[in-house]
Amino acid sequence: MMTPITDTFQRPLRDLRISVTDRCNFRCVYCMPKEVFGTNYPFLKKEEQLTLEEWSRLVRVFASIGVQKVRITGGEPLLWSDLPSLISRIRHDTEIRDISLTTNGVFLPKMVKQLKNAGLNRVNISLDALDPKTFLKMNGGILNVHHVLDGIESAKDADLIVKVNMVVLKGVNEHEVLPMASYFKDRGITLRFIEFMDVGNTNDWTEGKVMSTTDIYKTIHQSMPLKPLEASYFGEVAKRYQYVDSTAEVGFISSITNPFCTSCTRARISSDGQLYTCLFASKGVKMKEWLRSGISDEELSSRVKAVWEKRADQYSNERNRIDKKAKIEMSYIGG
């Protein structure tokens, strides 16, 4: 078995999140507010972004140093035309058997079979409300909720493991917690509640807008009792519960009220090939330059190892003690 490389807190590098595009067809208020991400926003140009060949090589190199899971995200990863080819290469060229996608789900009905055939195992679909008006308020007024619900259905029909992610903002969609919980409980789909995070600098985050895991839990538990479940592996981000009268589960991702930095095993790569060792980083390591300078796979892996071994990130643990400016945006680095 491969000896894992660890950072200064002895956390192994297990999980790779790759953002294949910084563009998106939504403008969620907590991620890409439309007032900031308008027509003049300087999105990355095609030549600035990694190619399919470069992504395939990077994932191979990360797999060779211990990465076991790859999550493909964005921006909206279904807008990236090479997605099926990349999944298929990861499946064939590496031993990674856990390949997942985070998406707003809109293009799943037309793409999901191809993605499943390429080797995709799991999909997390973001949905913040069932009520059409609230949904539109959350996604920047772009699309009706039935498009996402159709995407969720199509992923279930394709036999993928499906989870739904909901970000809860106080006073905006908190009234949707119970309807969402009940809807997905009935369908046996795991719903995960994500506390609104202070990622980037544009989403107008304040602590007052965060609906805490404790409050969400109480809201659900009062009408649909829950019981806790054991974590299924080291570093599992969501705290999982099961309904007492059903096999359906819910999860809580409490980056604000209960940080999980001590077990963080994730590295992230942006679509222009920068390596980030924390979601709240200000600076990345420019791997695109390495890739394009002609270095060998061995040299590439030893440079990545060196970055990881120096890593000392624990932003969520320190959030209240530091005033960090210039964080990178969620749509650039992926969730």
The half-sphere exposure of 148 on its side-chain side, counting CA atoms within 13 A, is 27
Residue 190: beta bridge partners? Answer: 163
Report which residue's Cβ sits closest to ligand SAM.
Answer: 335
| Cβ-based neighbours of 162, under 8 Å, separated by 6 or more | 122, 123, 124, 125, 152, 155, 156, 189, 190
Distance CA 175, CA 183 (A): 14
Q: What angle do CA 253, 233, 59 make, to 5 degrees?
A: 85
Token pair in block for residue 301: 């892996």
Candidate segments 69-77, 80-88, 187-195, 199-207, binder of ligand SF4 by CB under 6 A: 69-77
Report residue 244 CA to chain centroid gap. Answer: 28
Least separation in angstroms between CB 104 and ligand SAM:
4
Shortest Å, Cβ 325 to ligand SF4: 16
Residue bearing tokens 């590496």:
94
Nearer to ligand SAM, 108 or 158 (CB): 108
Identity (one letter) of the amino acid at 246?
A: S
Q: Which of 21, 55, 63, 75 binds ligand SF4 (CB under 6 A)?
A: 75
Size of the site for ligand SF4 (CB under 6 A): 23
Regarding 314 and contact with ligand SF4 (CB under 6 A), the answer is yes
Query: If binding is defined by CB under 6 A, does position 313 make contact with ligand SF4?
Result: yes
Other beta carbons less than 10 A from residue 112's beta carbon: 25
- Asked if 26 touches ligand SF4 (CB under 6 A), the answer is yes
Smallest distance, ligand SAM to C-beta of residue 307, A: 23
**Cα(17)–Cα(281) distance, integer angstroms:** 14
Q: Does 62 bind ligand SF4 (CB under 6 A)?
A: no
By beta-carbon proximity to ligand SAM, the closer residue of 21 and 88 is 21
* Binds ligand SAM (CB under 6 A): choice among 203, 212, 270, 271: 203
Residue 62 binds which of ligand SF4, ligand SAM, none (CB < 5-8 A, kind-dependent):
none
Compute the least distance from the CB of residue 173 to ligand SF4, in Å.
Answer: 13
For residue 100, state whether it binds ligand SAM (rule: CB under 6 A).
no
User: According to the binding rule CB under 6 A, does residue 31 interact with ligand SAM?
Assistant: yes
